[in-house]
Amino acid sequence: YERWIQSQQLRKWDLRCLKLQPLSPVPSDIEISRAQSPKAVDVLAKEIGLLTDEIEIYGQTKAKVRLSLLERLKDQPDGKYVLVAGITPTPLGEGKSTVTIGLVQALTAHLKINSFACLRQPSQGPTFGVKGGAAGGGYAQVIPMEEFNLHLTGDIHAITAANNLLAAAIDARILHENTQSDKALYNRLVPVVKGVRGFSSIQLARLRRLGINKTDPETLTEEEISRFVRLDIDPSTITWQRVVDTNDRFLRKITVGQANTEKGFVRQAQFDIAVASEIMAILALTTSLEDMKERLGKIVVANDKKGEPVTADDLGVTGALAVLMKDAIKPTLMQTLEGTPVFVHAGPFANIAHGNSSILADKIALKLVGEKGFVVTEAGFGADIGMEKFFNIKCRASGLVPSVVVLVATVRALKMHGGGPSVSAGAPLKKEYTEENLQLVADGCCNLQKQIQITQLFGVPVVVALNVFKTDTPAEVDLVCKIAKQSGAFDAVPCSHWSDGGRGAVKLAQAVEKAANQKSSFKYLYSLELPIAEKIRVIAQKVYGAKDIELSAAAQSQIDRYTRQGFGKLPICMAKTHLSLSHQPERKGVPTGFILPISDVRASIGAGFIYPLVGTCHPQTYLVCIQLLCPDDLRICIQSLKRTGPKM
């Protein structure tokens, strides 16, 4: 019994790290990945203190980790919690994933400190498009690279299945309600089985929401039966779309219901990419299987004809959604090139969702690393987007408090913010980016300074990681580090992990360890009690630097509706371009004095946030402007507007 008790306790890691032999010039990511022989995943699991019955092995290099681990280690203190964010990036990206992996390789393989990386799973669409994967790069990546970037353990497929089941249930319910009587619907929903009718638990919950406190199906009146069976979904308000995890542009607008069996119920719909599903955001923010089921039930898919929300619970499919997600809720264990552990779990986008990996992966990792260990996770896009959402949404949902922010910068991005020529994916870099130009670097550091200030709003120490490229000169590197420290960063460190592996990020790891021992005074940016519009204004002014916000009529209408429906106290998840602090991608550096236009406001009630859409004004606004400026040519201007859209 004593031996069993001892086996349940967290033990010091007995980790065998893998040796790296970096080559110069650095080979391609896939060549580096295939040149390294990863440890068997069951060996890695044992090294970090997982028990045999806590893992489910998928092949030789991947395993799901069961949530029962949290109960076993519930009394163990957590490790330090580190977030990797970045400055406003170029379209090429500045290497947040690479820094994340390089940092944990340095901590564990070189400084012998327990550490875990927690990353998002990449979408199949971007993998086969321009962006590439999200496994890191060079000698700081997760292996095997191709398994990381493709199906992994099927979580995205589970999300696709659950999402589309709910979409099918919406249209099927509308069809049945349009073609059947109350009695026929009641017989379908509450069938007689062996001579007896019985309500399911989800049906009893719906009855309670309707104010019908009855448990015997035979006692409902005709009026109560009608209220129970009819959701009266208004098709024009349906917000739930079907999804597929491929960039299939011809599915962006579709027409459903054209088969004869659909009785003429035709409507326009669309496909989104699978990782944009609210179910992905729910997976990332859930804290348990029960919590996930509750969140799935709260998903609002449409409004009824009275303007009230219709949920997955109302459709009676919550249990089915949870069953489809029962394995996806478990984080996937993988390893870095140097054999240190990584959790890959969830992959919400950082524009319409919060852009962070899962709370469950972080919580499990924080227990496994022990009190002196580190869990390093990454936020999507710049600090103004992913980091702000990490603090205001993810930390609220998890209750976890961050210890340090690592802010990734590159000389290339800073030169762009300093007035350098535009940077485009696939196009050769202009000479300004490949030759020394201290003035461009100095001018562009305004963006780095602003992102440091944003981090300081939350009371967390920040360490700047300068991701060094071979074209960067020592003078440029020194200048960035000097300005960063003068601007309030705890430290600023050049890193060469891409070419050197963990060895190239040792100084960064040491700086993070020191910063984590600083006194933190973490705080949220806004109170949830503020009205929705005021929370949006706080983010726009304090984070983006806007003068004010401008709500379209549609946005104000939605805010009024969500407030009336009881959703006004949810946090805000801004949907904004990542290429500028403002709403205009071409405005680099630190734009000021602009009005942030909010074109629409939507809600992910199951995930637990409101997401305003930041964009240009509606076409009607432009028509008014045109009429004032050139009334004689109004017809020509309207035709031009229809061709070019609001960007005109």
pLDDT digits (tens, 9 = 90+) for 63-94: 999 999 999 999 999 999 999 999 999 988 89
Q: What is the pLDDT of residue 323?
A: 97
Q: Determine the average pLDDT of the residues in 613-642.
A: 43
Q: What is the pLDDT of residue 520?
A: 80
Question: Above 80 in pLDDT, residue 125?
Answer: no
Question: Above 70 in pLDDT, residue 604?
Answer: yes
Question: Above 90 in pLDDT, residue 333?
Answer: yes
Q: What is the pLDDT of residue 325?
A: 98
Asked whether 321 and 283 are in contact (CB, 8 A), the reply is: no
Q: Which residues pair with 81 in a beta bridge?
A: 375
Question: Which helix (H) or strand (E) is 85 found in, with range?
Answer: strand 80-86
Q: What is the pLDDT of residue 624?
A: 32
Q: Distance of CA 374 to CAs 11, 433, 482, Å?
A: 16, 35, 27
CA–CA separation, 225 vs 237, rounded Å? 24
Q: Which pLDDT tens digit goes with each residue over 254-305?
A: 999 999 998 889 999 999 999 999 999 999 999 999 999 999 999 999 999 9
Comparing CA positions, the residue from 490, 387, 447, 377 lying closest to residue 587 is: 447
Q: What is the pLDDT of residue 425?
A: 80
Q: What is the pLDDT of residue 126?
A: 54
Asked whether 328 and 155 are in contact (CB, 8 A), the reply is: yes
Q: Which pLDDT tens digit goes with each residue over 339-379?
A: 999 999 999 988 778 999 999 999 999 999 999 999 999 99
Q: Which amino acid is at 319?
A: G
CA–CA separation, 81 vs 394, rounded Å? 13
Give 268's contacts (C-beta < 8 A, 6+ positions apart): 253, 254, 255, 256
Q: What is the pLDDT of residue 6?
A: 60
Confidence band for 192, pLDDT divided at 50, 70 and 90: very high
Confidence band for 47, pLDDT divided at 50, 70 and 90: very high
Between 10-24, 125-139, 381-395, 539-553, the lowest mean confidence (pLDDT) is in 125-139
Classify 332 as helix, strand or coil. strand
Between 328-337, 486-495, 618-627, the lowest mean confidence (pLDDT) is in 618-627
Q: What is the pLDDT of residue 130?
A: 45
Give 373's contacts (C-beta < 8 A, 6+ positions apart): 79, 80, 113, 114, 115, 116
Q: Determine the average pLDDT of the residues in 244-249.
A: 86
Confidence band for 630, pLDDT divided at 50, 70 and 90: very low
Torsion region of 354: left, alpha or beta (phi above 0 gives left; psi -120 to 50 gives alpha): alpha
Give 395's contacts (C-beta < 8 A, 6+ positions apart): 401, 402, 522, 524
Q: Determine the average pLDDT of the residues in 149-177.
A: 95
Three-point CA angle 454, 455, 456, nearest 5°: 90
Comparing CA positions, the residue from 81, 92, 84 lying closest to residue 383 is: 84
Question: Above 50 in pLDDT, residue 592?
Answer: yes
CA–CA separation, 441 vs 409, rounded Å? 11
Give percent of the chain above pLDDT 90. Answer: 83
3-state DSSP of 140-188: EEEECHHHHHCCCCCHHHHHHHHHHHHHHHHHHHHHHHHHCCHHHHHHH
Confidence band for 187, pLDDT divided at 50, 70 and 90: very high
Q: Determine the average pLDDT of the residues in 106-119.
A: 97
CA–CA separation, 606 vs 282, rounded Å? 7
Q: What is the pLDDT of residue 427?
A: 87
Question: Above 90 in pLDDT, residue 625?
Answer: no
Give percent of the chain above pLDDT 70. Answer: 92
Between 1-5, 333-337, 362-366, 621-625, the lowest mean confidence (pLDDT) is in 621-625
Q: What is the pLDDT of residue 639?
A: 43
In this structure, how many other beta carbons lie within 10 angstroms of the beta carbon of residue 4? 7
Q: What is the pLDDT of residue 4?
A: 59
Q: Which amino acid is at 422?
A: S
Q: Concatenated DSSP letters for 361-420?
A: HHHHHHHHH-TT-EEEEEBSSSIIIIIHHIIIIIHHHH-----EEEEEE-HHHHHHHTTP
Assigned token pair, 572: 């805000």
Q: Determine the average pLDDT of the residues in 586-590.
A: 95
Give the phi and the psi of residue 115 in degrees, each rounded to 5.
-150, 150
CA–CA separation, 380 vs 120, rounded Å? 9
Q: Which pLDDT tens digit goes with each residue over 433-453?
A: 999 999 999 999 999 999 999
Comparing CA positions, the residue from 277, 375, 278, 284 lying closest to residue 328 is: 284
Question: Above 60 in pLDDT, residue 207?
Answer: yes
Confidence band for 10, pLDDT divided at 50, 70 and 90: low
Q: What is the pLDDT of residue 616?
A: 55
Asked whether 29 and 137 are in contact (CB, 8 A), the reply is: yes
CA–CA separation, 42 vs 76, rounded Å? 23
Question: Above 60 in pLDDT, residue 642?
Answer: no
Question: Which helix (H) or strand (E) is 290 found in, with range?
Answer: helix 289-298
CA–CA separation, 268 vs 588, rounded Å? 38
How much is the mean pLDDT over the chain?
91
Asked whether 172 and 165 are in contact (CB, 8 A), the reply is: no
Comparing CA positions, the residue from 118, 76, 142 lying closest to residue 402 is: 118
Classify 440 as helix, strand or coil. helix
Classify 132 as helix, strand or coil. coil
Question: Which ranges in 464-600 belong to alpha helices (H)?
Answer: 474-486, 497-500, 506-516, 532-538, 553-564
| The 595-604 sheet, strands edge to edge | 548-551, 595-604, 609-614
Confidence band for 249, pLDDT divided at 50, 70 and 90: confident
Q: HSE of 107 in the Cβ direction (CA atoms, 13 Å)?
A: 28
Question: Annotated active-site positions, please?
Answer: 96, 98, 120, 131, 350, 381, 469, 498
For residue 629, count CB atoms less than 10 angstroms from its CB and return exposed for 0-12, middle for 13-18, buried for 19 or more. exposed
CA–CA separation, 219 vs 224, rounded Å? 9
